[in-house]
Structure 1
Amino acid sequence: MNPLSATSWLATLGAAGVFLVLVAETGLLIGFFLPGDSLLFTAGLFCTTGATAPVHLSLPLVLVAAVAGALSGAQTGFILGRRGGRAALAKIGSPHLHRGVERAEELFSRYGHAKAIVLARFIPVVRTVLNPLAGILAVPARTFTLWQALGGLLWTIGVTVAGYVLGASVPGIDQYLLPIIAVVVVLSLLPLAFELRRGRRDSVKGR
């Protein structure tokens, strides 16, 4: 099985693959490379009755697995951050994760707890490191749980249903799965690109 392939996860494990990937991507630092956005979108696509896909999935089951994985994963990351402290992040060897930590800290600084926790759900890598970082920064558990649940619901249901609607609306759309996934990945990176551009613009103004 190819861990970078959304189709591979779904064909091998079905809805259980959705749950496992989201727990790892949002709760464990080692899961930052997993295909969260493309997995949700592809799973929604594979729920359509007209999809000639490697596997046919149940939309309600996928949604339950996605929500459960995203919410439990984020809460796990938060607890690990509280117990492990900043020393856990200091051990990270990946430059991608280090950049994610920097962006997560900027989100907290710019938007505050609530908005940062929700926005992070839609930014790859940042959604991996923000949850333990929230624990390290002693964000109140009630505040974190409320807003991570809201962000998790918006992200998982929104992306999955988008895939389902497209699959149901366009017959044979699954034949173009690879370019569609590429578009989804690019779109998922846009929030990070906008944040980077805004940060650079603000730093220039501050000089």
Structure 2
Amino acid sequence: MDPLAFFLNLLSDPRSAIAGWIVALGPVMVFAPLFLIVFAETGLVFFPFLPGDSLLFAAGVFTADGGGLGLEATLAVFFAAAVLGNTSNYWIARLFGSRIVDSGKIKSLTPERLRKLDLFFARYGGLTIVITRFMPIFRTFAPFIAGMGHMRFGAFMLFNVIGGALWVGSFVLVGHFFGGLPFVQDHFELIVLSIVAVSLLPAVAGAVRGGLARRRAS
């Protein structure tokens, strides 16, 4: 399958992907792709487009009775992936951040997003790591920016653990407790896309406000 088609299908229908992995890989190895996707989204600045929120929610649905995934194991695997991913991202930035930014090879790491994250850190400090957990794209870049000089590692890890626990716990548990409702089952793809849309709202609102501010300034 074409990689782009694979990621688009995963974004729009993660339930089918997880169901296929459970059948193909079994109840233990199924956690390998789940771990890798969340780790890559949070740990590698090349993959900000991976579907973290919707994947957590969909996996939570499979932790209900008979779903094929254990709730405790799912929470633990995703938490480890989220924390280790952010930690990897921080150290990549600490060691190679300036060269990566100056190369211009990561097109999604735009000057505007860098400035916006600078403002986040100036306003919220370490809470930026927690807040951006719930913002696609920005959650990939926030630990990178932190590693480029905004935070000491000890403080970063404190907020990294808190943010990872809140992010993973909220989406997985919502899927666990509400994913089995008939309405959710009948409209699953629409709900997944709604989760993605709601997650993107803060970034869209910020972009609109920035555009309006630039227009007024000119």
Q: Secondary structure at the match of 1:66?
A: helix
Shift of 1:205: 8.3
Distance in 2 between the 1:68 and 1:134 partners? 19
Distance in 2 between the 1:35 and 1:176 partners? 18
TM-score calculated relative to the size of structure 2? 0.81
Counterpart code for 1:114? G
Shift of 1:102: 3.6
Which runs of at least 4 in structure 1 moved beyond 4 Å after TM superposition?
197-207
Conserved? CA contact 2:44–2:140, under 8 Å: yes
Q: Secondary structure at the match of 2:127?
A: helix
Distance in 1 between the 2:77 and 2:7 partners? 18
Distance in 2 between the 1:203 and 1:150 partners? 35
Point out where structure 1 has 5 or more consecutive residues left out of the alignment: none
| Residues 171 and 8 (structure 1), Cα distance of their counterparts in 2 relative to 1, 3 Å cut | closer
- The superposition leaves residues 123-158 of structure 1 with CA deviations (integer Å, 9 ceiling, x where unpaired) of 111111111111112511111010111111111111
| Partner of residue 191 from structure 2, selected from 174, 180, 192 | 180
Please state if 1:7 is matched with 2:18: no
Shift of 1:172: 6.8
Counterpart code for 1:150? I
- The superposition leaves residues 38-96 of structure 1 with CA deviations (integer Å, 9 ceiling, x where unpaired) of 10011111222376xxxx22211110111000000000000111000322123343543
Q: How many aligned positions are there?
A: 201
**Aligned residues: CA RMSD:** 2.5
| Residues 176 and 15 (structure 1), Cα distance of their counterparts in 2 relative to 1, 3 Å cut | farther
| Residues 173 and 8 (structure 1), Cα distance of their counterparts in 2 relative to 1, 3 Å cut | closer
TM-score calculated relative to the size of structure 1? 0.84
| Partner of residue 179 from structure 2, selected from 150, 167, 182 | 167
Structure 2 equivalent of residue 189 of structure 1: 200
Conserved? CA contact 1:114–1:143, under 8 Å: yes
Point out where structure 2 has 5 or more consecutive residues left out of the alignment: 22-28
